[in-house]
Copies of this chain bind each other. A is one copy, B any other.
Amino acid sequence: MEVNKGKYAADLSSIREAQARINSFIHKTPVMTSESLDAISGRRLFFKCECFQKGGAFKFRGACNAVFSLDDHQAAKGVVTHSSGNHAAALALAAKLRGIPAHIVIPKNAPQCKVQNVVRYGGQVIWSEATVPSREKTATKVLQETGAVLIHPYNDGRIISGQGTISLELLEQAPEIDTIIVPISGGGLISGVALAAKSINPAIRVLAAEPKGANDAAQSKAAGRIVTLPETNTVADGLRAFLGELTWPIVRDFVDDIITVDDTEIIEAMRLCYEILKVAVEPSGAIGLAAVLSDSFRNNPAWKDCNQIGIILSGGIGNHRT
């Protein structure tokens, strides 16, 4: 399908603009290959190592694009988010680079390491209760008091465009790629990656990798509408968000399929990353490798000619990386 400019929250030109905007701030992450993992998978694999991105994950691309998209007047009032994960740390870091405040709403039960990452990058922590209503209410209060701009972790065109810069780099580094496998959660990463990749080469397949215990995207694709789940249960704690209204149409139209894997497969992939690639990734970051090694991918005749596969590795252990 042709990428219809204006129909979606981002497009190739907004992604190229993002690249120009963030290029001097981000790491151009390496692409690694491994003959051992090629032999295990039976394909040629290209690992785009976003775990080496600043902030420890691809999230810094989108956060940086969002922060540097603001005009000076908006920017002076700062940014807000109520994500407590990699996006929070990435937003704090991007705001620090621009010299503006980042107000990060964090629930009281958040792991200490996540709080530390935000503090390390100069983010201002505002505590909320653990519930989603409390987090949203606290964020709204901060917005009202400060006039800062809310930067959603994925349901935002600036974020999607920033994440899409991965495809621009990857297809330059490994132009032979015919397939890209991408972790899916809220859909910001895969939306940007799919829009950019399919605009450059419409024949490229874009496949999502999702935990079976948080398979809202697979259910959404099957139902033809956004499906949310009453609860999620997976070791890949970064992949528990649901698709948003801006990411869903892109996932619906440009993601060829969703491969679901169980936690055992994710942990095995994480082990292979560590032992063979020598790269420390968290479960959410290793899921692309889990997908390519899964029986459901291997045995699906639709993917038998996916031979040159880009896999986005993201998220280090502890998430701190600059």
Asked if residues B35 and A322 are in contact (CB atoms below 8 Å), the reply is yes
Stretch at the interface among A76-84, A260-268, A270-278: A270-278
* Oligomer: number of copies: 2
Decide yes or no whether A291 CB sits under 8 A from chain B: no
Q: Provide the residues of chain B in CB contact with A23, threshold 8 Å.
A: none
Selected interface stretch from A67-75, A186-194, A313-321: A313-321
Interface residues of A in 287-322 (CB under 8 A from B): 316-318, 320-322
Q: Which of A46-60 contact B (CB under 8 A)?
A: 51-52, 54, 56
How many whole Å from A278's CB to the nearest CB in chain B? 4
* Interface contact B52-A277, CB-CB below 8 Å: yes
Known contacts A35-B322, A36-B320, A321-B34; A278 and B275 CB within 8 A of each other: no
Q: Answer yes or no: A286 CB below 8 A from chain B CBs.
A: no
Report, as a range, how many residues of chain A touch the other chain: 20 to 34
**Quick one: which of B27, B54, B278, B322 contacts A321, CB cutoff 8 A?**
B278
Interface status of A30 (Cβ within 8 A of chain B): yes
B-chain residues with CB within 8 Å of residue A33 when the two chains form the complex: 27
In the complex, the answer to whether B27 meets A278 with C-beta atoms within 8 Å is no
Chain B residues near A276: list those with CB within 8 A: 320-322
Taking the closest CB of chain B, its distance from the CB of A28, in whole angstroms, is 10
Residue A32 interfacial (CB < 8 Å): yes
* Residues from chain B with Cβ under 8 Å of A274 in the complex: 280, 317
Query: A277 — which chain B residues lie within 8 A by C-beta?
Result: 52, 321
Cβ distance A45 to chain B, nearest Cβ, rounded Å:
12
Residue numbers of A with Cβ under 8 A of B are 27, 30, 32-36, 51-52, 54, 56, 274-281, 316-318, 320-322
Sample (15) of A-B pairs whose CB atoms are under 8 Å apart? A27-B32, A27-B33, A30-B30, A30-B32, A34-B321, A34-B322, A35-B322, A36-B321, A56-B278, A276-B321, A278-B317, A278-B321, A279-B279, A279-B280, A280-B280
Which 6 residue pairs across A and B have the least CB separation, nearest first?
A: A278-B316, A30-B30, A35-B322, A278-B280, A36-B322, A51-B278
